[in-house]
Amino acid sequence: MLNSKIWILLALALPLVGCVVTSKPLTHTQRVDSISTELDNLFAEQEPVSGAITVAEAIARAIKYNLDHRVTLMKHAVALRHLDVARLDLLPQLAVSAGYFDRSNESGAASQSLLTGELSLEPSTSQERQRDVADLTIAWNVLDFGVSYATAKQRHDEISIVEERRRKVVQNIVQDVIDAYWRAWSAQELLPEMDKLVQDTEETIEQSRALADKGAQNKKQALRYQRNLLEIRSQLWASRERMALAKISLSRLMNLSSGADFRLADPGDLNPPSSLSTPLNELEHSALFDHPDLREQDYRLRVTRLDVRKAMLRMLPGIEIDFGTRYDSNKFLFNNDWSDLGLKISLNLLNVFGGLYQKKFHEARFELAKTRRIALSMAVLARVRLAAQRYALARQRYNAMADLARVDDLLLRMELSNNQTQTKFDVIQARAVAVSTKIRKHLSYVETQKALARVFNSIGTDPVPEGIQSRDLEHLSKAVEEQWNRLTLKHLETAAPDFAPTMDLAIRVPTRVTIASAPRRAETAAVPSTNTQGHVKTAASTGTGTPPRAETAAVPSTNTQWRVKAAASTGTGTPRRVEAAAVSSTTAQGRVETAASPRASTRRRIKAAAVPSIKTQHNKNVQTWRYQRRHPRETDAVRSGPF
């Protein structure tokens, strides 16, 4: 009796224990240990970087070590485990039980006659106070088997859905790697030149301030020059900041430390890929066949269709078959062990009416999935055409930037060779224009590579062929390179690219301009800003009697619409003329004219106007030009400074 009371008290006190459970926050030591372990796991089991990283190696590292890709792989593993669980539901239920019973008193009973109401037997018992029981039962429900079979097929389709999502993640990672790689490579090539230009600009600013403080320069004019130099420096800093972040993005994609020191392989000449050779309708067909989003929707249609079948199965009656063997140690039993077999049919009438609504609901979901599949197909087709159009525009933009870079490079060489009229400010300005154009040329090349990767991404091509099981980085890099070459050979023209320069820039630039008797006139302007329009004219006499003339205009602006005409004729006494014009939409317009006479007895006359920056207003330029026209001697004194 005492034992029974103890068990009752324990049974009543056990639920109360759950009410006093509390959670303790993590301690400082635990958090430090967790961070240390996490940092070790971030870059664990990665092959170290040896040598310059190529594009193929960067893609291979991203595929193998990128954390987003690892998450999708873990999701795929979870889906496989979910399928294993669903397969177990197909098996019949197998239940094994064993127990021990102990009564506090005897189990007895008496019988009463239903006719006379008198006791027919004395109180008796047929069960012991302590006894052991055990049984083994197998039960199989036909209805549950059908539902579980449909569920297992859904889990298998969900594995395929996760696989398509993994393909999409890999394709997006490859596209991001190509973009970040070429931006980082451009930064690697241009940042030293930009840093040197920034250093020279800062030195020139300090020299101008020192001369202005000593009174050797007109202070107002010196401040104007300093402002233009500061504007150049700020633009260089902005460009440097954008380019310097590309290496960090590439490190994150390859799962390298942000401070990791690595170099990127030199690809040689910046030759963008050729134009697309595959017709758009074939690209669209490939996208409809291989794109991971569409294939995922196909599997989702199958999953939704199976939901409709499961709703219909649940309306059917259930048939349950069970078989069991049992044991009881009760000594009053004639047979202490026996077996039994049962068959039971059951039907829940409420499930019949509820199943009709469930069936209509899943049919509506199926129609929604079909409509979504059609809408997604239209979006994929549009994405393919947009990607192809962007690739064509990117190649044209690179063509324009390449021609503009050649013009600015020639202007810089002319400025450096013009020892009579050049100043330090003019040289820095010309260098800034050349660097700015070179940056945009590199960025346009980046856009062509990114646009080509977007084309391959839009049609759903995989960066690694199917069946590649190698986890070695070298073999994976080789497989990526072979796959990329295979794609370019399949979808790009193999002939010579059609982005050749559209003008002849075979201009011979001498190291020093010499003039015998013909007058020389030079009008030069260069604008190192984005929204500025400049006009540059250069004329040089290199012969006797007939002065050839070269007129060049170049504007280093964004979204530039350019038109170049080149005409050259050779012969004695025949003028040679090269015209280049570039027009851009700008917010400020400026012009600098400089005229110089090569004769010793001729007084030099210079007309100079401050070079406009991004926020310079046109009326200030006009006032400055008029002032310098009226005071040429003061202008000459200013020009004799460090600029």
Query: How many CB atoms lie under 10 A from the CB of residue 172?
Result: 15
How far is the C-alpha of 469 from the C-alpha of 341, rounded, in Å? 51
How far is the C-alpha of 292 from the C-alpha of 147, rounded, in Å? 29
In a domain, 29, yes or no: no
In a domain, 579, yes or no: yes
How far is the C-alpha of 186 from the C-alpha of 405, rounded, in Å? 15
- The answer on pLDDT for 638 being more than 50 is no
Which of the listed ranges 239-243, 399-403, 554-558 does the model predict with the highest average pLDDT?
399-403
In a domain, 238, yes or no: no
Categorize the per-residue pLDDT at 15 as very low, low, confident or very high, splitting at 50, 70 and 90: low
In a domain, 576, yes or no: yes
Mean pLDDT of 484-493: 87
Are the beta carbons of 136 and 323 closer than 8 angstroms?
A: no
- The answer on pLDDT for 14 being more than 80 is no
**Number of structural domains found in the chain:** 1
Lowest mean pLDDT among 24-28, 189-193, 592-596: 592-596
In a domain, 314, yes or no: no
Tokens of 488: 């370019």
- The answer on pLDDT for 149 being more than 80 is yes
SS3 102: strand
In a domain, 585, yes or no: yes
Question: What global pTM score does this model have?
Answer: 0.67
pLDDT confidence of residue 568: 34
Query: pLDDT for 417-449, tens place per residue?
Result: 776 556 777 788 788 888 888 888 888 999 999
Question: Can you name the residues that pair with 356 across neighbouring β-strands?
Answer: none
In a domain, 70, yes or no: no
Categorize the per-residue pLDDT at 274 as very low, low, confident or very high, splitting at 50, 70 and 90: confident
**How many Å from the N-terminal Cα to the C-terminal Cα in the chain?**
111
DSSP 35-90: HHHHHHHHTTT-PPP-SPBPHHHHHHHHHHH-HHHHHHHHHHHHHHHHHHHHHHTT
In a domain, 278, yes or no: no
Query: pLDDT for 384-408, tens place per residue?
Result: 999 999 999 999 999 998 888 888 8
Q: 406, 388, 411, 390: which is closest to 500 by C-alpha?
A: 406
How far is the C-alpha of 295 from the C-alpha of 114, rounded, in Å? 75
Range of the domain at 567: 521-639
Helix (H) or strand (E) holding 346: strand 337-346
Of 204 and 536, the structure prediction assigns the larger pLDDT to 204
pLDDT confidence of residue 534: 36
How far is the C-alpha of 461 from the C-alpha of 159, rounded, in Å? 20
